[in-house]
Amino acid sequence: DAKTTQPTSMDCAEGRAANLPCNHSTISGNEYVYWYRQIHSQGPQYIIHGLKNNETNEMASLIITEDRKSSTLILPHATLRDTAVYYCIVRAEYGNKLVFGAGTILRVKS
Amino acid sequence: DGGITQSPKYLFRKEGQNVTLSCEQNLNHDAMYWYRQDPGQGLRLIYYSQIVNDFQKGDIAEGYSVSREKKESFPLTVTSAQKNPTAFYLCASSMEWELNSPLHFGNGTRLTVT
C-alpha cells in the first residue's frame, strides 16, 4: 500500500521552477523520502532522497517540512526533457523495499 | 560504463508457455529486484534478492520464479500459472539491502502474451 499522496498531473513552463508536492502524513521517524522519475517506456531514474533536512544535488532540491508530513521536489529550471512521471516514495520499514504509487505526470511546455 | 541490462526489450509469447527475462548488472550491487508495471500504474514488487543464493517474495510473486546463482544476474521466469503476464517488467539493483542506497533500474522488458 502506497504511503504517499501526489497530484495526478501538473504543468510547468519551460525555464521555470517545477514544484512537485507530496504528502506522507503517516511517515515514521526513521523513514526516508525518495523521489524517482520515469520517462515513457524507460526504467525509473533516482533523483534525490532525504530524512529531515533539505537536500540538493545536481538534478533537484528536496524540501521536507519540519513535521515531515509533506515534502516538495523542486526542479529549478525545467526543460522539455523533464517531462515524466515523478514518484514520491517513503521507504518501507525494513530493507530497501520501495512501494511505488501512481506518481505525478509533469508536463513541461514551451 | 556500469549499469543494468535487461534483454530483450520486447518479448512475445503464446499463452501457456514459460518465459525467462534476463537481468544483468555490473555495478557490483548485492541486492536485486524485479518489479512489474501495468499501464497507468506504479510499480509492484515481484521478487527481491538481498544477496547471492537468497531471494524473497514481494507483493505479487504468484506465477513467477527467480534464481540468484551469481551476483551479477537475477533472471525472472514468468510461468504459465501467471494469470495476466502481459506487462512491462523492470529489474533494479542497489548497493545493499539494509542501507539507504538508491535503486538503479534497467530499461525494462515489455512482455506480450497472446
Q: Does B102 sit within 8 Å of A46, measured CB to CB?
A: yes
Q: Contacts of residue B107 in chain A, CB cutoff 8 Å?
A: 41-43
Is the pLDDT score of A9 beyond 90?
Answer: yes
pLDDT in tens, B62-104: 999 999 999 999 999 999 999 999 999 999 999 876 667 889 9
E strands present in B1-114: 4-7, 10-13, 19-25, 31-37, 43-49, 56-57, 64-66, 76-78, 87-94, 104-105, 109-113
Query: Would you call B22 an interface residue with chain A, using a CB distance cutoff of 8 Å?
Result: no
Q: Residue A2: is its pLDDT beyond 50?
A: no
| Average pLDDT value over all residues in chain B | 92
Inter-chain residue contact B48 with A101, CB threshold 8 Å:
no
pLDDT of residue A94: 61
Distances (CA, A) of A77 to A58, A61, A107, B37: 12, 11, 13, 29
A-B CB pairs within 8 A amount to 61
d(CA A96, CA A100): 12
